[in-house]
């Protein structure tokens, strides 16, 4: 049992103020000593929603104080040691609240009795749900939000749409002709049945039909997507600013470039800056390595367009695309409105709320994004098809969404598993991706993989199952280097010697190192080249004329005659 200490003075003063209320409110709940995890989660959900509706900075759930009399009686609850589904109570509550909201737990002695105080942040830009059900307080009672549609409508509608506001100082002269031409082309591609008709539309009719203008009046969306660069100040105090930056291995900046309006053209210009280098890996049973781009072009555009569509432009911040050596990181300001990435992937339906609905609608009409749902899920599907690690949505920073798209293979076992099991369910692949990253699973997720014999080990210390490892351990396959695979590298060496006559070991290293599978480390690659040269020497295809310290390789007698001119 932990040592019982007094609550901090400021929390004692807060409890004094709450107890001074004449009765419980829609944002304050007192409990004597009854505790049940699910009910507690529902109360936190209800407090968050009601605090938002009542315009309060927080909601409060207090254990150890009687309802009605507000007498301090104490509680046996110790939330820091309470466990649910073999995990800490606090983690379990946070995981089941969507969107993720902040709450703090304070416990200690108050007037000589042990009390527990939950301080809950108000709902952000949509109703909060607990286990996919939203709750709210009606008076002092906890109710399902769907039973009170007037409160639900208010919670969904508590944010104005900046993107739909008319930009009063903007005229059609502020629109960029190149951006307008591209917008017409994109709209035609999205609506081929209107292609012939729209050639006769003037700009006003076109932008209204494309849902970029409202009855011909230019909106903030119109200037953001189509406005000249000098028109961007018309959106003040909002700021439209995209930045691409290239990072060195040590994290320092190697290069960067900023982009402003028109965003419709900026996305192509930013896209062209991404280097998208080649990655090689060697599928089992193949003759040559597979060479592919680090990043799928559709995934890059989807992540960038989503960051633009959901940026909170009132923050005056930037949409960032950071190109690290092994990953792309997209970030925008504003909370992740759907709340949970897992929920979006699982449900695969359009969210009920967008931060900039008018902008999203315009981007849909121009074929930039798809509000019919599936964009985020498809990002995961595309990474799975390419046998790459999954995107990672980082929602740990309040008011910011970061999406990390890996451009490097982490674990050859995971990669080989996806190659050999193309029909593996996406949700299972996502869980195995977490295992390869060394991230924790919830007990039910672990049990699911354990049942399929995909992981071994006890809960809390699990790893990829030996059965899977035997199937997907590409490193040992590469090091053993089967004959068919080696034929490719042998051909490169002998063709080099036929053309140039001789080669040092350094020449051969430069020829082969970047063509060997990325799954091998530097030492393993050197060992692979050594074995390759030894095999060629034994077959009399090459000879070493140099010293032990400075080898000089030439063609062996078996191939020397082929190399000489007829």
CA distance readout (Å), 175 to 190, 200, 356, 450: 21, 19, 21, 58
d(CA 515, CA 556): 24
Tell me where in the chain the CATH 1.10.10.10 domain(s) lie: 481-563
Minimal CA–CA distance to 520: which of 487, 488, 474, 489?
474
Cα–Cα dist 399/348, whole Å:
24
Residue carrying the six token digits 């969404």: 401
CATH number assigned to the domain with residue range 242-406, chosen from the 4 options 3.60.21.10, 2.60.40.10, 3.30.565.60, 3.30.70.3170: 3.30.565.60
Mean pLDDT by 10 residues, the chain (566 residues): 79 93 89 90 95 89 93 93 90 90 93 95 87 91 90 73 91 97 95 92 96 94 97 94 94 93 97 89 61 92 94 92 96 82 74 79 89 78 92 87 92 75 87 85 86 79 60 36 56 85 89 73 82 87 79 77 49
* C-beta of residue 292 within 8 angstroms of C-beta of residue 279: yes
Q: Are strands 503-504 and 103-110 parallel, antiparallel or unpaired?
A: unpaired
Q: At what angle do helices 297-310 and 263-273 cross, to 10 degrees?
A: 140
> How confident is the model at residue 475, as a pLDDT?
34
Say whether domain 481-563 belongs to CATH 1.10.10.10.
Answer: yes
Tokens of 547: 């010293």
For residues 67 and 19, what is the distance between their CA atoms, to the nearest angstrom?
10
Please give the backbone phi and psi of residue 403, each rounded to the nearest 5 degrees, phi first: -120, 120
* Overall pTM surpassing 0.95 (yes/no): no
DSSP per residue, 43-92: HHHHHHHHHHHTT-S-EEEEESB-TTT--B------TTT-EETTEEHHHH
pLDDT at residue 279, rounded to an integer = 81
- Amino acid 513: pLDDT: 84
- Bridge partners, residue 31, by sequence: 63
9-156: CATH class: alpha beta
Residue 44: per-residue pLDDT: 96
């Amino acid at each position: 049992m932990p040592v019982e200490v007094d609550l901090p003075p400021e929390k004692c003063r807060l409890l004094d103020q709450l107890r001074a209320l004449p009765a419980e409110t829609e944002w304050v709940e007192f409990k004597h000593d009854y505790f049940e995890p699910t009910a507690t989660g529902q109360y936190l959900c209800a407090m968050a929603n009601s605090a938002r509706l009542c315009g309060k900075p927080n909601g409060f759930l207090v254990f150890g104080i009687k309802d009605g009399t507000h007498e301090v009686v104490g509680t046996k609850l110790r939330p820091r040691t309470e466990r649910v589904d073999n995990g800490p109570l606090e983690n379990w509550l946070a995981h089941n609240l969507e969107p993720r909201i902040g709450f703090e737990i304070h416990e200690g002695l108050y007037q000589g009795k042990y009390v527990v105080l939950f301080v809950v942040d108000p709902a952000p830009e949509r109703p909060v749900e607990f286990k996919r059900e939203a709750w709210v307080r009606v008076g002092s009672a906890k109710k399902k939000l769907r039973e009170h549609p007037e409160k639900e409508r208010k919670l969904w509608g508590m944010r104005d749409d900046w993107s739909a506001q008319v930009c009063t100082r903007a005229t059609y002269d502020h629109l960029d002709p190149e951006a307008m031409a591209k917008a017409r082309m994109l709209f035609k591609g999205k609506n081929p049945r209107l292609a012939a008709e729209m050639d006769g539309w003037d700009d006003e009719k076109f932008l209204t039909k494309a849902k970029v203008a409202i009855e011909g009046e230019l909106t903030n969306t119109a200037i953001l997507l189509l406005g000249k660069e000098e028109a961007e100040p018309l959106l003040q105090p909002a700021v439209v600013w995209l930045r691409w930056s290239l990072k060195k291995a040590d994290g320092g900046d190697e290069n960067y470039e900023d982009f402003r309006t028109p965003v419709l053209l900026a996305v192509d210009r930013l896209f062209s800056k991404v280097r998208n280098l080649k990655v090689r890996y060697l599928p089992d049973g193949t003759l040559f390595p597979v060479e592919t781009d680090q990043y799928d072009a559709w995934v890059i555009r989807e992540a960038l367009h989503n960051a633009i569509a959901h940026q909170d432009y009132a923050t005056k911040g930037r949409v960032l695309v950071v190109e690290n050596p092994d990953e792309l990181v997209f970030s925008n300001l504003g909370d992740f409105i759907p709340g949970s990435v897992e929920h979006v992937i699982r449900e695969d339906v359009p969210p009920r709320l967008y931060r900039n609905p008018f902008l999203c609608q315009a981007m849909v009409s121009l074929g930039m994004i798809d509000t019919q749902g599936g964009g985020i899920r498809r990002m995961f599907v595309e990474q799975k098809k390419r046998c790459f690690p999954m995107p990672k949505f980082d929602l740990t920073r309040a008011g910011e969404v970061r999406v990390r798209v890996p451009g490097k293979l982490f674990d050859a076992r995971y990669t080989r598993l996806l190659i050999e099991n193309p029909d593996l369910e996406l949700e299972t692949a996502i869980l195995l991706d977490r295992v390869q990253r060394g991230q924790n699973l919830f007990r039910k997720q672990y049990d699911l993989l354990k049942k399929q014999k995909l992981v071994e080990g006890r809960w809390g210390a699990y790893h990829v199952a030996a059965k899977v490892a035997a199937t997907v351990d590409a490193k040992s396959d590469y090091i053993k280097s089967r004959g068919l695979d080696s034929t490719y590298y042998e051909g490169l060496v002998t063709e080099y010697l036929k053309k140039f006559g001789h080669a040092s070991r350094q020449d051969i290293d430069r020829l082969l190192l970047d063509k060997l599978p990325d799954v091998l480390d530097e030492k393993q690659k050197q060992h692979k080249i050594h074995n390759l040269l030894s095999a060629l020497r034994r077959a009399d295809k090459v000879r070493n004329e140099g010293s032990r310290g400075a080898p000089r390789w030439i063609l062996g007698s078996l191939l020397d005659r082929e190399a000489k001119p007829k």
